Amino acid sequence: MSAKAILEADGKAIVNYHLTRAPVIKPTPLKPSSTHNAPLKLASLHFPDDKDTMAVLDQAEIQYPWLLASGAKFVAKPDQLIKRRGKSGLLALNKTWPEAKEWIAARAKKSQRVETVDGVLRQFLVEPLVPHPQETEYYICIQSVREGDWIFFTHEGGVDVGDVDEKAEKLLIPVNLSQYPSNEEIAKTLLSKVPKGVHNVLVDFISRLYAVYVDCQFTYLEINPLVVIPNSDATSASVHFLDLAAKLDQTAEFECGVKWAVARSPANLGLPILKGGSEKVQVDAGPPMEFPAPFGRELSKEEAYIAEMDAKTGASLKLTILNSQGRVWTLVAGGGASVVYADAIASAGFANELANYGEYSGAPTETQTFHYAKTVFDLMLRAPQHEQGKVLFIGGGIANFTNVASTFKGVIRALREVAPLLVEHKVQIWVRRAGPNYQEGLKNIKNVGSELGLDMHVYGPDMHVSGIVPLALLGKKSEIPEFSG
């Protein structure tokens, strides 16, 4: 639960829907519009492995009839949290629908290298092209810091925006919104290099955009280019956000979930109601917000399963697969301790062999711990055997209130289920844990280790939290004796 990136399509839908609805913090230069924005034309296309690429594209024509408008030109791009798409050749501009289709079909479900990361392209966004002269491209970015929210603005937006930190005008909006700057201040600070004629339009837009940022609890919002085309007498202008990247505060779901959902409901996206779809009853007036995994790290079935379990409990359960073929696996309790373990493994020179990052904490039940441990063990034992064997760390700090014996019961149940495979894969198991009732927990796991013939070493609080890592990976010796019950 933290700030998480969202799809461009979702970001645009939220901004577009709430731009005229979110309450502005101070009156803006323009009269509020009497009508709300029309739904944006956003064709968000997903290509799962089990669906034919052409079938998805054909379906899109039914769902988004505007794709078939005669003479229309489009922009197509992958929508997978990829930065600098233009530079990676992942932006198709000024295409007819058949051309865009062809461009997407050539890339969908195919692996793609972006800078150093490889990933499969599955999510595309197709939008109508907005023809505009170069000088109407601006750049705006809002991001949160401790003291408030910075607004970065430059009149030279576009693909080659360059070092924004250096050239953008900056304005800090304090956390206390009663100190929100006046329209004049905004214009003076951010728009000094912008033609006066569009000042009112831009100040109005910036204030409204910021209102959406606050109201929908964004933590990051970047629009580049932001296109502002003045009307003939330059009293107002039409504003288009061509490219958008955003992060939402996932913890604010209980406050903003409704707003995130309603902006993305089919009706507000202007989608025709398709017949035959069995409509699931949803909590809000739209689909729940989805937070995609970063490009190149598609959520595996197991990660999704743990994430789902995590979402349903007050305890914390996290799992990220870093390298499914890695030799070193971790099952560590605690948000801090889990990072300490990953550090220790990396500093021992095994960063490339580190298979997973994960943690369980906040007093999960025995059953939750069992499912969590089982998932990790299954992944570890599914990968091919390694001639040097594998290493499993069942680690953790000194718990504050989690009953170690009870969470270890879950771990032990999972160990029992896979014991023969653990032996077959030559898995060395290193245990370090302390906290309430650790004596019982360690005794039980040690007994199970010897009962099942596992290669296991068990330590208690006398051992440094991650002290077992150099012992296991570098063959170091310690004077601290193993836990003897």
Residue closer to another protein (CB basis): 3 or 285: 3
Alpha carbon distance 351, 322 (integer Å): 10
Instruction: Kindly tell me which residue out of 201, 242, 331, 465 binds another protein, with binding defined by CB under 8 A.
Output: 465
Q: In what order do the strands lie in the sheet with 328-333?
A: 316-321, 356-361, 328-333, 390-396, 427-432, 455-459
Residue closer to another protein (CB basis): 240 or 318: 318
Residue closer to another protein (CB basis): 158 or 396: 396
Asked whether position 254 contacts another protein by CB under 8 A, the answer is yes
Asked whether position 243 contacts another protein by CB under 8 A, the answer is no
Residue closer to another protein (CB basis): 200 or 466: 466
Asked whether position 217 contacts another protein by CB under 8 A, the answer is yes
Residue 335: C-alpha distances to residues 191, 219, 309, 460, 470 (Å): 44, 22, 17, 19, 21
Instruction: Kindly tell me which residue out of 32, 162, 336, 481 binds another protein, with binding defined by CB under 8 A.
Output: 336
What are 367's two structure tokens?
Answer: 């059953």
Instruction: Kindly tell me which residue out of 343, 420, 423, 485 binds another protein, with binding defined by CB under 8 A.
Output: 343
What are 360's two structure tokens?
Answer: 């369980």
Asked whether position 464 contacts another protein by CB under 8 A, the answer is yes
Cβ within 8 Å of residue 200, ≥6 positions away: 29, 30, 235, 236
Residues in the chain, total: 485
Alpha carbon distance 337, 359 (integer Å): 8
Least distance (Å) between residue 78 CB and another protein: 17
Asked whether position 328 contacts another protein by CB under 8 A, the answer is no
Q: How many residues bind another protein (CB under 8 A)?
A: 71
Q: Which of residues 8-27 bind another protein (CB under 8 A)?
A: none
The CA R_g of the chain, rounded to the nearest whole Å, is 27
Which range in 100-108, 343-351, 378-386, 421-429 contacts another protein by CB under 8 A? 343-351
Asked whether position 296 contacts another protein by CB under 8 A, the answer is yes
Asked whether position 333 contacts another protein by CB under 8 A, the answer is yes
Chain Cα centroid distance, residue 424: 37
Residue 161 half-sphere exposure, CB side, CA atoms within 13 Å? Answer: 26
Contact 425, 377 (CB under 8 A): no
Site string for another protein, 359-398 (x = CB under 8 A): x-xx--xxx----------------------------xxx
Residue closer to another protein (CB basis): 127 or 303: 303
What are 212's two structure tokens?
Answer: 């959406």
Sequence letter at residue 322: L
Residue closer to another protein (CB basis): 100 or 161: 161
Q: What is the DSSP string of 220-270?
A: EEEEEEEEEEE-TTSS-EEEEE-SEEEEEEGGGHHHHHHHHHHHTSGGGGT
Q: Which of residues 390-449 bind another protein (CB under 8 A)?
A: 396-401, 403, 405, 434-437, 439-440
Contact 60, 76 (CB under 8 A): no
Instruction: Kindly tell me which residue out of 141, 226, 242, 337 binds another protein, with binding defined by CB under 8 A.
Output: 337
Asked whether position 316 contacts another protein by CB under 8 A, the answer is yes
Alpha carbon distance 124, 8 (integer Å): 10
Instruction: Kindly tell me which residue out of 135, 255, 290, 424 binds another protein, with binding defined by CB under 8 A.
Output: 255
Asked whether position 320 contacts another protein by CB under 8 A, the answer is yes
What are 300's two structure tokens?
Answer: 């595996």
Q: Which of residues 97-156 bind another protein (CB under 8 A)?
A: 116-117, 144, 146, 148
Asked whether position 346 contacts another protein by CB under 8 A, the answer is yes
